[in-house]
Amino acid sequence: MLKDTLLYLAQNPRLRDFVVQNKLTRNVSRRFVAGEVLEDALRATRALNDRGIQVALDLLGENVAIKEEAAEAMRDYVNAIELIARTQIDANISIKLTALGLDISPQLCEEYLNTILESGREHNVFVCIDMEGSAYTEQTVALASRARERYELVGTVIQSYLYRSHDDIIKLVDQGTRIRLVKGAYQESQSVAYQEKADVDRNYVELMHILLARGNFPAIASHDEAIIDDACRFVRDHGISKSSFEFQMLYGIRRDLQDKLVKQGYNVRVYVPYGSHWYPYLMRRMAERPANLMFVVTNALR
């Protein structure tokens, strides 16, 4: 109930303006967001790299409705790739297709995506296409699959709460596309997605086994210790190398677990969001864990 309310409010422009303009909530958002400019993300990345952790840089922004804003997002993503190459930080990037104008025109979005992938190829930087709400799944899978035919360094995300994900994974794995597996962070109806956590978790484990056994350097993106333990057991029992996959977690969440996995010799990558459009991202993090809502409220009131 609280989760649904928070995910609903994530789309509310009036609450967004109030929260984003409020200095206190802006400060509190720093628990989950590296900062508002690329230099903040660079600083956070260096600190993570020093702990033996790789990074996926995510410029926040989604559902852009104006062509110029989509072009600006494209240029910002290219800037991030160039910064990674210039500074030699250990990072790749994550992008959202609705930030590149998917709502305006799929053709325009694909053109901008290809510009980013050209830059990724030139600088040897991998680009992951994040997965958004189910209204975009079909287009995202199709665009990622088409992009993979031309570019090596591209992958996408699959959400275990969707019924269709098993079929998508088989198709993408056969094509050699790199996949990040997540549970899914959006509000979805019973017609397309499992509603019970137990079903989402069970499907996650099934899909994870497919990826670990046959995937191209998959990312197991979760903070769920039972799932992470299962992954460690599965690779050990099947003689799969620790170097053939990576764990991924979100910035500011379960730092203890990130360090523990690094110490055990696993690849760990942390997703580092930055930028001024942090409101929907913060709301999704609160929806995942009500304790985060308490963290934001009590610190904002302090």
178 annotated to bind ligand: no
Nearest-angstrom CA–CA distance, 138 and 136: 6
119 labeled part of a ligand binding site: no
In the structure encoding, which two tokens stand for residue 289, read together? 């864990």
Q: Which of 232, 210, 216 is nearest to 165 (CA)?
A: 210
> From the list 148, 178, 183, 277, which residue makes contact with ligand FDA (rule: CB under 6 A)?
183
Q: Which residues are catalytic?
A: 130, 180
Nearer to ligand FDA, 67 or 251 (CB): 251
Closer Cβ to ligand FDA, 67 or 143, answer by number: 143
Q: Which of residues 199-238 bind ligand FDA (CB under 6 A)?
A: 221-224
Does 183 count as an annotated binding residue?
A: yes
> Using the rule CB under 6 A, which residue among 64, 70, 109, 130 binds ligand FDA?
130
| Least CB distance to ligand FDA at residue 289 (A) | 4
Contact flag: residue 172 with ligand FDA (CB under 6 A): no
DSSP string, 42-102: HHHHHHHHHTT-EEEEEE------SHHHHHHHHHHHHHHHHHHHHHT-SEEEEE-GGGGTT
Name residues whose C-beta falls within 8 Å of residue 234's C-beta, 6 or more positions apart in sequence.
208, 209, 212, 240
* Least Å from the CB of residue 183 to ligand FDA: 4
- Cα Rg of the chain (Å, integer): 18
Is position 166 an interface residue for ligand FDA (rule: CB under 6 A)?
no
Structure tokens at 48: 């993570």
Task: Report helix, strand or coil for 248.
Answer: strand
User: Nearest approach, Cβ of 198 to ligand FDA (angstroms)?
Assistant: 10
Burial 224-245 (b: 16+ CB within 10 A, else e): beebbebbbebbeeeeeeeeeb
CB under 6 A: which stretch of 71-79, 143-151, 183-191, 234-242 binds ligand FDA? 183-191
Least distance between ligand FDA and beta carbon 253 (Å):
4
- 260 sits near ligand FDA (criterion: CB under 6 A): no
User: Which positions touch ligand FDA (CB under 6 A)?
Assistant: 130-131, 157, 159, 182-186, 221-224, 248-250, 253-254, 271, 285, 288-289, 292
In the annotated binding site for substrate, the residues are 96, 284-285
